[in-house]
Amino acid sequence: MAAATSPAAARRPSSSPVPSLCPSKASPSSLPFPLRPCPNQLLLRSHRLHRVSSSASFAAASSFADLPYPSSEDVFAFDDKPREECGVFAIVGDPEAAQMCYLGLHALQHRGQEGAGIVSSDGASLHSCTGLGLVSELFSQASKLEPLVGSAAIGHNRYSTAGAASALANVQPFVASYRFGQLAVAHNGNLVNYHSLRYELESRGSIFSTTSDTEVILHLIATSTTRPLLARIIEACESLEGAYSLVLLTADKLFAVRDPHGFRPLVMGRRPNGAIVFASETCALDLISAEYVREVNPGEVVVVDSHDMSINTSCLLPKKPRKGCVFEHVYFALPNSVVFGHPVHASRYNFGAALARESPAPGADIVIPVPDSGFFAALGFAEASGLPFRQGLIRSHYVGRSFIEPNQEERNLAVKLKLAPIYGILEGKSVVVIDDSIVRGTTSSKIVQLIKNTGKAREVHMRIASPPIISSCYYGVDTPRAEELISNRLDVEGVRRAIGSDSLAFLSLESLRAAFGKEGHMFCDACFTCRYPVPPRKHDAVNAVEE
Ligand code: SF4
């Protein structure tokens, strides 16, 4: 067990050299799994930045204490976690399609909070309502849903850090008119060949009205020379590279498409009235009493005709290895969802139990989760280690964007506004703290300080229910630049010193995969390994390693 580290000692040394961009620079023996060399992760394209702190301000800070004072935006986004960028929902054959879509988007709110939209079809034309904000805010008045008539609808929740001026134009679903009618699309994922596709389309005369990669899909469908629409969609999708779970709506048909690797989830369900539903997660099916039918398979195109409710499926070519995003199980998806055929709560429990077997904390008194995402992993750790599970931190769910920044000097305010220690549980105890992941390390360091200084815990042993994050995601998850990821720059002991815990351990990659049994190899884990199933293209990254 490592010696206790004071908060001051926990700070990143101001004399540290320019952070290495390469995980192979970390001591290989200190990492829980061998890394394939990833010689240079310098990004050519400005990857979308978190609101927590800009890369420039991070680089300028000589210690965590020097990081900028938290703004109201920081408080809202204090979690220092990768951000899911979208959730999609679709329904056909329901007289209250828009209302069901509203409920479905509400259930998927965790996948994107910056904007939402619904497009409905009355069998002849499409009707759209999109806006910025939470689903419940946008559609707080029933009058907003009234114009969305018809028995079919698609919806979208958006997360993005794009500027406010452009944000509204980028809120989906997008609706376009082409020579055979209207078409709406909602997209979860990210296209790694977006820039080259857009360049080609613009070279041929296409004019874009958004900065979203989703718009190229509409252009590719509109400019295709094949018929019918299903063939156009297939031709368009076969030129896409990267992650896409799509729902598309015309006056009389609903399409659901998943990329050949199946990076992002998409499930199909059926309501008791026979309506067919598609959603990013099964939690959206549960809310509207829809029965889970199956996943939309990777590379599958499902078409539902709204006239006779017939269902047909086609396949995209070529077939590729299944690579569902493992981070859906680590953090993004709700624990009551089933993602890629596996219950999320069970995965997290198994991650925690495996972590307890791999990296126990001898002498610890209690196990506590970092709420809410560490809950099930902490349960697994506690039961596997025989230690009592306690709720030592309480999370406030009422801190939002409207918080007014105070003027007193308080570096840890963002965390203290969200998390409160329970003294009676923590005081004098040796505590195992379970979190799902560490991204920059800024929040982890503040949580350790909170538990030690305010909660008066004797020792804090951090256990992380996933491997160290060393690479950025290019498949629809908003992650910081590689050089901002603390585990890209430091080995495990370096991270422990930086966050100030008495000990630190991450779940091994082998145990992460083993939690899915024989399907362990069917997941993308590039943010832990730098092994990208689809290599990022220029404008995204250089020298990433193709798996
Ligand atoms: S790189 Fe990470 S976050 Fe992105 S799809 Fe792969 S596992 Fe998920």
DSSP string, 268-320: EEE-TTS-EEEESSHHHHHHTTPEEEEEPPTTEEEEEETTT--EEEEE-SS--
Cα of first residue to Cα of last residue in the chain, in angstroms, is 36
Whether residue 86 lies in the annotated active site:
yes
* C-alpha distances in Å from residue 46, one per residue of 24, 162, 167, 534: 23, 12, 17, 19
Closest CA to 281 of 83, 522, 108, 529: 108
pLDDT at 224 over 80: yes
Residue 250 has a pLDDT of 98
Question: Which pair of structure tokens corresponds to residue 283?
Answer: 């939690």
Q: Is the CB of 475 under 6 A from ligand 1?
A: yes
pLDDT in tens, 150-185: 999 999 999 864 444 457 889 999 999 998 999 999
Residue 84 has a pLDDT of 62
Lowest pLDDT segment from 157-166, 302-311, 426-435: 157-166
Q: Is the CB of 524 under 6 A from ligand 1?
A: yes
Q: Is the CB of 325 under 6 A from ligand 1?
A: yes
The crossing angle, in degrees rounded to 10, of helices 214-223 and 229-237 is 130
Closest CA to 455 of 392, 383, 544: 392
Per the document, the length of the chain is 547
Q: Which of 22, 86, 283, 530 is catalytic?
A: 86
367, HSE (Cβ side, Cα atoms, 13 Å): 27
pLDDT in tens, 72-88: 334 334 457 766 679 99
For residue 311, name the pLDDT band (cuts at 50, 70, 90): very high
Name which residue leads in pLDDT, 313 or 66: 313
pLDDT in tens, 83-135: 667 999 999 999 999 999 999 999 999 999 889 999 999 999 999 999 999 99
Q: Mean pLDDT of all residues in the chain?
A: 83
Virtual torsion, Cα 529, 534, 538, 542, nearest 10 deg: 20
Residue 45 has a pLDDT of 26
Residue 417 has a pLDDT of 82
Output DSSP code: residue 123. S
Q: What is the mean pLDDT of residues 453-468?
A: 96
16, HSE (Cβ side, Cα atoms, 13 Å): 17
Strand partners, 295: 267
Lowest pLDDT segment from 70-74, 255-259, 498-502, 508-512: 70-74
Q: Is the CB of 327 under 6 A from ligand 1?
A: yes
Nearest CA to ligand 1 atom 5: 325
pLDDT at 380 over 50: yes
For residue 366, name the pLDDT band (cuts at 50, 70, 90): very high
Atom of ligand 1 nearest to the CA of 471: 1
C-alpha span between 69 and 477 (Å, rounded): 26
pTM confidence score: 0.84
Residues 6 or more apart from 182 whose CB is under 8 A from it?
A: 125, 126, 175, 176, 250, 251
Residues 6 or more apart from 544 whose CB is under 8 A from it?
A: 38, 41, 471, 474, 530, 532, 535, 536
Q: Is 289 left (phi over 0), alpha (psi -120 to 50) or beta?
A: left
